[in-house]
Structure 1
């Protein structure tokens, strides 16, 4: 049995691959033979059990070439992110919708109904929302990325209903703090206002300080993605969609945590210059969720945002 991870060369995908290797045969994770990383670049994790395949996930022939009868599980992490999807509509549609459909069809062709874990986003929501979003709130995305992820969710659920796959839709919180350079996500600033100041660099906060965000550390998200593989389909029932647990924090509270963990000097490096393009996308997203069902199913979350900042500082700041 093999596990496929699309987007395996990225920060989250490569971290997931490391976690799967570490948990192999433990805590319900199956004894898989190897992992296939699928991306536009090779996976940075060096391990004999990993095979890197590069190519276009939206090409049906390519998708069929990587998914076979020995595929036990697929993590579909590859995506064009929110900012780029909004600016380059056709690329977002091709990767985020055509790529998902090609991968689902390849899984269907195996006749084995592999587990299919789809990384979705809270960007599927929009419009007027309650203070705490319930699991059954209707989707009303206010960005192309959100619409593309919503379509992907429906496809995964219907392929599961038909018995073609054993799907789980995991709506990820905004992941903070990501190391490295900013990416094309509209929410990239959420890492930037912590990461750059802790490394002695200036950063800008483009949204109001009272903006509520639904956040998770990389470690918590990866642990939940691994756990999603172990949850039985019967426990999910017909509702294959999970709002992964996060913590509700305002941007102002994020900066307060930055100062508590890093000191006054890093906090002083954060400016506040509004960027309407970012506000229009990020401020359409909900900031708090009812996650009682995922927590009952064994998913977990960070204790507070100070610990999230400390996690990044301890691992990446020298």
Structure 2
């Protein structure tokens, strides 16, 4: 089985690669070939028994998507995107990377199938940013997509393209709307949502973090481990159960910033809380105010997708996976 990961150098892409290498299979089929693509060179996977190829390319450049589609991978994970605040700040770049690249990949797969039969599974990572306020208490599977950011608009168009290309039989696609992934390892990025991870990750390592919003801000979260689980499950799911509705709200955990900090205190004590520096940022607060806060993802849960039930669980996963089982500082 040949698996292509587009966006393989990103955090979720790296963790997905590691999972596939550890398991050696996907949906009961042995993974014999991995193609890892990104705009920067993905790391060569260690311990993989099959063939692994890394590729540096930008799907928005002519011919890049066709080159990958010509490899005819059986499963394609499309994770590549620029983050919310960057897409909002740079309109042209956001549409080029988040929309034009996706359309180029989908169309390259279609063109490859016109040469001879080809129908791969395509798993696309969308976002809860496809929804805009005003929100109900819980967003159901029937809630309308009405994004209030360029990033959310780009992801919404991508979802529609995925559904249409799947309806026409060009590929077998499924879009998963990820919650905000928390706790993200590594250094802070340009995402407006980055502080949700920063206020836990840095104090747990004995470092200061900035909180730009109030403790009453509520948001929808899942761990990196859960995100990889979503991707694996989506790649192996019987998509006949989806019908024409190819995009799903993923399960997650609704929590306030205050509840995050309560969980931080349980693991790091007052010492960790004192490392939080409050610096209100009106721009970030405005962006976050337009994001969903809670979901009722009945379709995804019925289809077997799973996430964490508490922030204590999310912090435990971070400590296990990133801190060697110990709180630093």
What TM-score comes out, normalization by structure 1 length?
0.96
Question: Per-residue displacement from partner, 1:84-128 (whole Å, max 9, x unpaired)?
Answer: 101111111101010000100111122212111110111111121
Q: Do the aligned residues in 2 keep the contact of 1:82 with 1:185 (CA within 8 Å)?
A: yes
Matches within 5 A, 1:1-318: 1-25=1-25, 28-44=27-43, 45-46=45-46, 47=48, 49-68=51-70, 70-111=72-113, 112-317=118-323, 318=328
Question: Per-residue displacement from partner, 1:131-163 (whole Å, max 9, x unpaired)?
Answer: 100112111111111111111111111111111
1:233 deviates by 1.6
Instruction: List gaps (5 residues or longer) in structure 1.
Output: none
Q: Do the aligned residues in 1 keep the contact of 2:226 with 2:308 (CA within 8 Å)?
A: yes
Tell me how far apart the structure 2 counterparts of residues 68 and 39 of structure 1 sit (CA, whole Å): 17
SS in 1 for 2:30: coil
1:280 deviates by 1.4
Question: Per-residue displacement from partner, 1:209-258 (whole Å, max 9, x unpaired)?
Answer: 11111000111110111010011121111111111111111111001000
Q: Do the aligned residues in 2 keep the contact of 1:19 with 1:226 (CA within 8 Å)?
A: no
Tell me how far apart the structure 1 counterparts of residues 149 and 34 of structure 2 sit (CA, whole Å): 33
Tell me how far apart the structure 1 counterparts of residues 29 and 235 of structure 2 sit (CA, whole Å): 9
Q: Do the aligned residues in 2 keep the contact of 1:197 with 1:266 (CA within 8 Å)?
A: yes
Question: Per-residue displacement from partner, 1:36-83 (whole Å, max 9, x unpaired)?
Answer: 111022222334532110011112401111112631111110101101
Q: Do the aligned residues in 2 keep the contact of 1:182 with 1:188 (CA within 8 Å)?
A: yes
Tell me how far apart the structure 2 counterparts of residues 29 and 153 of structure 1 sit (CA, whole Å): 28
Instruction: List gaps (5 residues or longer) in structure 2.
Output: none
What TM-score comes out, normalization by structure 2 length?
0.93
1:166 deviates by 0.6
Tell me how far apart the structure 2 counterparts of residues 185 and 238 of structure 1 sit (CA, whole Å): 31
Seen in structure 2, the aligned counterparts of structure 1 residues 107 and 30 have a Cα distance that, compared at 3 Å, is farther
SS in 2 for 1:150: helix
Q: Do the aligned residues in 1 keep the contact of 2:141 with 2:298 (CA within 8 Å)?
A: no
SS in 2 for 1:71: coil
Seen in structure 2, the aligned counterparts of structure 1 residues 138 and 97 have a Cα distance that, compared at 3 Å, is same
SS in 2 for 1:8: coil
1:29 deviates by 4.5
1:10 deviates by 1.2
1:24 deviates by 3.7
Moved over 4 A (4+): none
Tell me how far apart the structure 1 counterparts of residues 197 and 209 of structure 2 sit (CA, whole Å): 10
Aligned pair count reads: 317
